[in-house]
Structure 1
Amino acid sequence: MDAQRYSQLVKQTKIGKQLPDAVYLHKDTIFSLPSELQSFIPAVANAVKLGPEQWNIIKLFKRDFRLSLLHYPNFYDDPYPALSQSLNVDLTRLNHKITSYSGTDNPPILHRKETMIDPNHPEFETFKMITQEGENAGLYENSRLIGFKSSWMHLIKQHGYELVDGRLFRASAVSNNIEATGIDRHRTAIVRHELSAPMKTLVKHGYLEGEHSIFDYGCGRGDDLRELEAHGLDAIGWDPNFCPDTEKLNSDIVNLGFVLNVIEDQHERLDALLGAWELSDRLLVVSVMLANESYISQFKPYKDGVITSRNTFQKYYAQSEIKSYLERSLQEGVITVAPGIFYIFKDKLAEQTYLQRKYKRSHRWEQLTNSQTLDSKDKARLVIAQKQELFNSFWNVCLELGRIPANDEFSESQQVRDLVGSHKKAFSLLKESYDISEFKKAEKSRQEDLLLYFAMELFEKRKPYTQQSEALKRDIKALFTDYKAAINLATELLFAIADTNLISNQCKKAHNSLSASLLNPGHSLILHKQFIDELPLLLRTYVGAGLQMYGELDEELDLIKIHIISGKLTLCSYDDFEKSVPFLVERIKIKMAEQDIDFFDYVDERRRPPLLNKHLYLSNDDKNKNKQENFDKRLARILEITPEKEALIQRIELETSLDKANKKIRGFTLVKK
């Protein structure tokens, strides 16, 4: 066989671990090679006097006329077998070299063994599972660190895992007598230095970006929690041995990570699953250790699991078995995220969002146009492409005004006109390249701002059209046709705030769209003053009409309450709104129908009512939202109130309840007195 033929045959080889410059395969798979290679490889081994027991892995080089015969004595027994001897044969120079690793403490090791054997081999699934565990643990992210035994073991430890019976564990038990003393599950929690595999899936899918609260059910020593908290995330955990005093609180996401494996009592196992599910408001993440029958059979059976070599109980699952168990126990659909990792959504809208994002296709478009002579419009587009910065600035002014700017409203107007002829023509061309929906939003926003302005002007002596500014005249012409039409619309808008049904519907609409608010159906909508501009136009007019009597909003004012039926507007000021529990300092009730204002001062600090459930008024991007919500839920349990509703109590009631619970408020935590 010559080099050319050898190269052709290696390229035809589809089985084995395919690397850029070589193919690795076990000699048990040699029958899958082209027939010429099947006979050639043993012939080479015989030629260099290498007995069949001295090699079991073949390395076929793709670019050189070379091959290596490698010996991994524990290939089938060791998950990451060490190389004992390597024989490299240079078939061009007809020489060979033997390298022994039997005396070294740091030999090369083998990974991804399933790629080197036939897929029908009985060990294929076990090998594949071992590789997947390493993937989930993040061990293969830097391939340069995995090739030798000591660096591989260091990497495993660095990632917070241990090898037990050839499998990667977050935890390892060392109880000496399982039958006599029971299982010391608290010995299972080892120190990790990065997020666990299920937590990494949450990172991947965007669930750890700050908007979700997290509860780690069975958190061990809290390694995940420390990592999450270091990133400013709202995360708490409970563990029967390490964190038994932590209160089990409902959270958006609950993680039940590798807990079901270590509970030997089936009833207790189910209780843990149901308990975690009850605590999850949006998503439960369940992860378990997987293994097949051939792997499990090597251990001593115990109840429905096995006793490992470390004398610890493990209930290994098959993928289909654990999924069926979860579906049967929770009566919910279960989504497989990775081997041994599952999502169960309680929030079905969130589930649909996840699935839509998961199955959304990315398109690769073909070029369907042909080159042709450019017409004048094409030439103008080319000019726009060449002067991108100029036309970006022009488009931004269009968005700011909600209309095409006049010549004196864009500083580089002359350059635009020299290039394409006029502002109108430039706008027409840009509509084809820019997002016209953004312009439509800007146009509508400007119309609403002007209608609100004209409606508020009706409270004063209205200026005639001739006394309006030139910019406002342009707005009126572009957005309303004429001044009379604008004033008629503003008048209708002002009268509409007396329609309680309309106000009620708009409050519901606002509650669904605002960054944060609290709706008391049929009574009121409460929001922080920073969200006024997000209100629908009718409610902005309602608030504006009330403020016509009061004046501008002071910096000290915090919350605004829109009364749906009574035609009132309440303004509330707190001593320090940034605190976990602010206290009311002043309440101002504006009675529009009666054209009157009532002021209520709380000078005496002992009489100041607390603002409870403050998280309802914070947007999701507020830096304190998560810890405020977590705090509010804890406090709600002590006060026996609902954390998702307005709660009106006196300061003395708050203090009495805290005393009774032997708690005091420290920042955003409740601590023992």
Structure 2
Amino acid sequence: MDALQFTHLIRDIPLGKKLPDAVYLHKDSFSEIEASLTQFIHAVAKALKVETQDWHIVKLSRNEFRLSLLSYPSFFTEAYPSLTQSVTVDLNKLSHRIVDYKNSDNPPILHRKETMLPTHHTSYEEFECITQEGENAGLYDNSRMIGFKQSWLRVIERHGYTLLDGRLFRSSALTSPNNSEQASSIDRHKTAIVRHELSAPMKQLAKQGYLNGDYTIFDYGCGRGDDLTELQAHGLDAIGWDPNFRPEDDKLTSDLVNIGFVINVIEDQVERSEALIGAWLLTQKLLVVSAMLANDKYISQFTPYKDGVITSRNTFQKYYAQAELKGYIERTLDENAIAIAPGIYYVFKDKIEEQRFLSGRFKRHHAWKQITAPTPTSEEQARLLFTRHHELLNRFWDRCLQLGRLPVQEEFSEIADINSALGNAKKALKLLLQVQGEQATSEFEAAIEMRREDLLVYFALCQFEQHKGYQHLPEEQKRDIKVFFDTYRVALAESKTLLYRIANTEEIEAACSQAHESLPASKLNLGHSLELHKKFLPYLPALLRVYVGAAAQLYGELDEIDVVKIHITSGKVSFMGYDDFDTSPLPTLRERIKVKMWQLDVDFFDYVEKDNRPPLIYKSQFQDETFEDFNKQISFDKRLKKEDIFEDNKRPCNLNAVTSSLKPKGLEIRGYRFYKLT
């Protein structure tokens, strides 16, 4: 069965719980649908070794070649059964994902069960009656907020009802949730800090060009509104809402919605999920979700409360691990969450914009040389034509090098001028290559190869994160695919091969050795790791770019990172951030992040005490002449090595150890120089 047949069969299903993007059916309804579809569903389950007793409902996508096998073992015994496991199958990618809810205290639940059964089923009338009770009580008025167990129980309680033996009974009075005396005294408003610059999530939006004035912005849980004040001062259309400081303001849909450090201060798990879902409902293009991260050692100093802690300021905090936060967002919203920085994730509602963003992350940018105007001669008409339109052709050439191909009209605003002067873009490129000769030809061939490799890296990393398919690609990427790969299938096949190769330690080791030979600067620890400055990442072979890129997807942007270590045999990548890397001959290690690729997990190591931060010895190993202090660092490292103060190549644990080692020699360090002690 192919995607077209699948879509047609789903469209013709005569029963089921029908939503805009999917149809839900119980297995007892299969006699009412096309036999080929039933056989196909059972064949998928058998292929994945999902036993018949382990799934009860099938969710059939109406827009994609995708289905989910859902386990509701209490479908016939509970009024609102809980989901215990889902197996989601992408039939285009031939991949599947299993999510286990058995130990969840807030699993997804099922409503309107009768819609998933044929009308002659023995349970149909009973289930219809249960649904009618909920309709009469007004429980389905906001269907977005009733999909999870705790949210559903909260809705029932708010409407003045009690769920007893699966049926609704009117409560004698509407009672408030029992949050305990401690919970009622938590000072949530104290978590709204005063800011003197943009918050970290807003800085990320600014960095990636989303604060350019083209988008409306809503800050969900804006606190005192310092971000809004700054954004509005720049003339941006930015508004916000906060339950403590701006409760009277409206919640309005916007292109960009930021829910910054909100979910971690809400002690009630249901309210926390409702806040995240509420922010998502306001989002038109992009939702930014951020929360506090911390390790167990830091959390242990506080008083435990529910799934978080009470801080010394009497505020609640739910501290997350990076992977835990991603999982929470994706379970709650059923959307892909993209790591941008530690504790900051993007969730795109606009899937075209998502692909445009992802493509831009993995595209290399080089400063291409401008074409110099040749001296015109009467002997060659081509050179005269080139000279006449020199500036226009320079701009056209730059765009060709950026794309690795000819631009179309929407990719080069002066294409009409090119057509008028030279006939068409193809003739313009031919003229450029003719006039500039072999140098231009080599440069354009390099641009083609670079762009093709960038796309392979991008598609490989998209498959690592299981992002959406071809229908969500921007038009410019579809043109790239046609030029560089001919078909999307070929692009996926090549990128999938590239992605799988990162598990081959022999290939990783070979690529590290190759990179060490070709990079401007790096440190190769034979058989163990390759270390390099992050500015040299674009020069890595494609295999290592995917390897590091996958790790960065689990961690986020590398803004605060200086050195990257690629572990050859252990399936790990480490990111190191140093204090004063660009201005100190001995920068000290501020933070180390170890991404465990095989476990899809991230470990954070913060060096809180400045005096105990280990220094980076021989920093010049990671630099070339493009670093401002390169020459000074080379001289410093030569002198440091000459003094031979490190016994058995042991590195000092902190700067005080370096100072102590130099004292017996009567030396001290000031800046990049050594001085005699007076």
Q: TM-score, normalised by structure 2?
A: 0.42
Structure exhibiting the larger radius of gyration computed from Cα positions = 1
With structure 1 as the length reference, what TM-score do the two structures score? 0.42
